[in-house]
Amino acid sequence: MRKQYFSFIFLYIFSSCLYSQTMDDNIIINCCEDSYVFKEGPGNNPIVQNTRKTEYEALRMGATVQPHMFYGEFISLDEAKAKGVLAPKAIHRHATPENVFFDDTRICYFNLSLSRQGKKAAVQFSRTFHDLRYFTRIYFPEEYFIRKKRITVTIPAALSRFRLVEKNFGPGIRCEKSVNKEGDSLFVYTLKGVPATRKEEAAPADNCLYPHLLVTGPFADVQAMYRWLNGLAEVDCTLPQAEMLTDEITAGCTDELEKIRRTYAYVQQNIRYIAFENGLAGHRPDRPAEVLRKRYGDCKGMALLLRTLLKAQGFDARMAYIGTDDIASSPDEVPTLAAINHAFCLLFHQGKRYCLDATYRYLPPEDIPQGIQGRKALVENGDSCLILTLPQQDASASTDSLNYHYRLMTDSNPPTLKGTATRVSTGEYKEYLLSLYHDTPKEKQTDLLNNQINNTAAVQSADGEYCLEADPHEDFFHQPIDTTRRKQDYLLPWRCRIVREVTIDIPQGYAVSYLPADFHIETNQGILSCSYRAGAGYIHFRKVMEIRRKRIPLALIPAWNDALRQWKKACNEQIVIRQSTL
Predicted confidence (pLDDT) per residue in 509-523, tens digit: 999 999 999 999 999
Assess contact for 506 and 467: CB atoms under 8 A: no
Residue 239's CATH number: 3.10.620.30
Q: Based on the fold, state whether residues 161 and 186 are members of the same structural domain.
A: yes
Please check whether residue 287 is in contact with residue 114, taking contact to mean a CB–CB distance below 8 angstroms.
Answer: no
Here the contacts of 37-41 (C-beta below 8 Å, separation 24 or greater) are 37/153, 37/154, 38/153, 38/154, 38/155, 38/156, 38/159, 38/162, 39/156, 39/159, 40/156, 40/158, 40/159, 41/130
| pLDDT digit string, tens, across residues 159-206 | 999 999 999 998 889 999 999 999 999 999 999 999 998 889 999 999
452 and 544 share a domain?
Answer: yes
Evaluate whether residue 2 is within a structural domain: no
Is there a contact between 109 and 81 (Cβ–Cβ < 8 Å)?
no
The pTM score is 0.90
> 331 and 240: one domain?
yes
Closest CA to 554 of 477, 492, 483, 495: 483
pLDDT at 3 over 90: no
**What are the tens digits of pLDDT across the range 252-264?**
999 999 999 999 9
The pLDDT assigned to 340 comes to: 95
Whether 183 and 61 share a structural domain: yes
Query: Which distant-in-sequence residues (6+ apart) come within 8 Å of 411 by Cβ?
Result: none
Of 94, 134, 95, 75, which Cα lies nearest the Cα of 5?
Answer: 95
Same domain for 160 and 37: yes
Confidence of residue 11 (pLDDT cuts 50, 70, 90): very low
Residue ending a domain, choose from 372, 393, 414: 393
Give yes or no for residue 57 having a pLDDT over 90: yes
pLDDT tens figures, 327-386:
999 999 999 999 999 999 999 999 999 999 999 999 999 999 999 999 999 999 999 999
Q: Are residues 414 and 360 in the same domain?
A: no
By residue count, the chain amounts to: 582
What type of residue is 5? Y
Q: Flag whether 4 is in a domain.
A: no
What pLDDT is attached to residue 276? Answer: 65
Give residue 8's identity as a one-letter amino acid code: F
Q: Domains in the chain: how many in total?
A: 3
Q: Residue 428 class from Cβ within 10 Å (0-12 exposed, 13-18 middle, 19+ buried)? A: buried
- Looking at the structure, do residues 425 and 539 belong to the same domain, yes or no? yes
Here the CATH number for the domain that contains residue 137 is 2.60.40.3140
Residue 428 CA to residue 360 CA, distance in Å, equals 9
472 pLDDT band, cuts 50/70/90, is confident
CA–CA dist 137, 55 (Å, integer): 23
Residue 474 maps to a domain:
yes
- pLDDT, average across residues 206-221: 96
What is the amino acid identity at position 569? K
Is position 236 within any domain? yes
Specify whether the CB–CB gap between 129 and 135 falls below 8 A. Answer: yes
Is residue 455 assigned to a domain?
yes
Are residues 178 and 200 located together in one domain of the fold? yes
Same domain, 384 and 452: no
- Beta strand 352-356 pairing with 316-322: unpaired
Cβ burial of 70 (10 Å; 0-12, 13-18, 19+) is buried
Residues 410 and 346 in one domain: no
Question: Looking at the predicted structure, is the pLDDT value of residue 97 above 80?
Answer: no
Q: Dihedral of the CA atoms 227, 343, 329, 204 (nearest 10)?
A: -160
Is 528 domain-assigned? yes
Which of 176, 191, 216 is the last residue before a domain boundary?
216
8 within domain boundaries: no
Cis peptide before 414 (omega within 30 of 0): yes
With cut-offs at 50, 70 and 90, classify the pLDDT of residue 9. very low
Q: Which structural domain, as residue segments, surrounds residue 337? A: 224-393
Closest CA to 549 of 475, 487, 501, 496: 496
Q: What percent of the chain has pLDDT over 90?
A: 79
- For the segment 300-328, what is each residue's pLDDT rounded down to a tens digit? 999 999 999 999 999 999 999 999 999 99
Burial 270-280 (b: 16+ CB within 10 A, else e): ebebbbbbbbe
Is residue 210, in this structure, part of any structural domain at all? yes
Domain boundary among 346, 371, 393: 393
Which is higher by pLDDT, 458 or 275?
Answer: 458
Which CATH number characterizes residue 438's domain? 2.60.120.1130
Whole-number Å distance between alpha carbons of 41 and 130: 8
* 149 and 191 share one domain: yes
Residues 411 and 533 in one domain: yes
The Cα 557–Cα 565 span in angstroms is: 12
